[in-house]
Structure 1
Amino acid sequence: MALFAPVRSEKTDLDAVRRYAVSVIARSDGEDLQMKAVTLALLGGIMWRAAPGSTELIQDEASAKAILSTTLGGRHLTFSYDQNTESIEMREGTTDGPILHRFCNRTLVADFDQTFSALWR
């Protein structure tokens, strides 16, 4: 007899972030180590600061693009990978909202700190 009954997996913030990471890393040519690191650092910041229960993965049917939607510092933000610029765009509101920042393989640690710190002022 098992000590624990099997638990059915629920969709959580962490599930959404994990699926988004898999999607972005696959779309960003998978072999780009720097973009993998940028993606993981960005998603770590989201998990650290996002409002609990606000993070979800949305699939754009038209482009098969994965979109991460969350609330940070009281602001609704979306994150999506743009294959043309090879960057993750952080936008206000929806994927049509203004671009607040682009994260790419040239993003420095200080850029993450500066961008995320501005969300909590």
Structure 2
Amino acid sequence: MAITAKDVQQLNEYAKGVMDRAEHHAGNVKGSALTVLGGIIWRADADSIRIRQYAGSPANMLWIKVNGKDYAFRYDHASEQIEIRDGSQNGTILHAIDDAVPITAIETIMRGL
């Protein structure tokens, strides 16, 4: 199940969860996660941010629309990267991001969505 993030409180809760989990399990995406989160807030169509819930808490996946097109963002444990997928969580991987990707490249990726 997913909830629609319509206020800063929900986004704050999601961001805290992502960063807490990154500290323990995904240290190579801590910086890039912050950049991607900023890009999501910047690029998402109004009321289109949907956050996956697991056991009542935000999980490591969300969906947005940019200009009406759907994108899924998820953390992949095997590759230890944030994936941006086309349309859904099972869609084609458009981009895979970790801390080795420069901030300027992440900005370019987000601008291109």
Normalised by the length of structure 1, the TM-score is: 0.72
CA distance in 2, matches of 1:116, 1:11: 19
Out of 33, 37, 42, the position equivalent to 1:43 is 37
Alignment partner, residue 72 of structure 1:
66
For the pair shown, which has the larger CA radius of gyration, 1 or 2? 1
Counterparts in 2 of 1:55 and 1:27: CA distance versus 1, 3 Å: same
Gaps of 5+ in 1: 1-9
* Contact kept? 1:13, 1:54, Cα under 8 Å: no
Structure 2 gap ranges (5+): none
| Counterpart Cα distance in 1 of 2:59 and 2:112 | 27
1:52 Cα offset (Å): 0.9
Could you say what the CA RMSD is over the residues aligned between the two structures, in angstroms? 2.6
Query: Which amino acid in 2 is paired with 1:97?
Result: G
Equivalenced residue count is 107
Q: CA 1:11–1:17 in structure 2 vs 1: closer, same or farther (change >3 Å)?
A: closer
1:53 pairs, out of 47, 50, 64, with 47
Matched, 1:89 2:83: yes
Quick one: which amino acid aligns to residue 77 of structure 2? Q
Q: Is the 8 A contact 1:60 1:67 kept in 2?
A: no
- Deviation above 6 Å: which 4+ runs of structure 1? none
| Higher share of residues assigned strand | 2
State the shift of 1:58 in Å: 1.1
Aligned-residue sequence identity (percent) comes to 29
Quote the Cα distance in structure 1 between the aligned partners of 2:11 and 2:81: 17
1:102 aligns with 2:102: no
- Give the distance between the partners of 2:68 and 2:82, measured in 1 at CA: 21
- The answer to which structure, 1 or 2, has the higher relative contact order (CA under 8 A, 6+ apart) is 2
Structure 1 residues 82 and 88, CA, compared in 2 at 3 Å: closer, same or farther? same
Matched-pair contact (CA < 8 Å) for 1:13–1:53: no
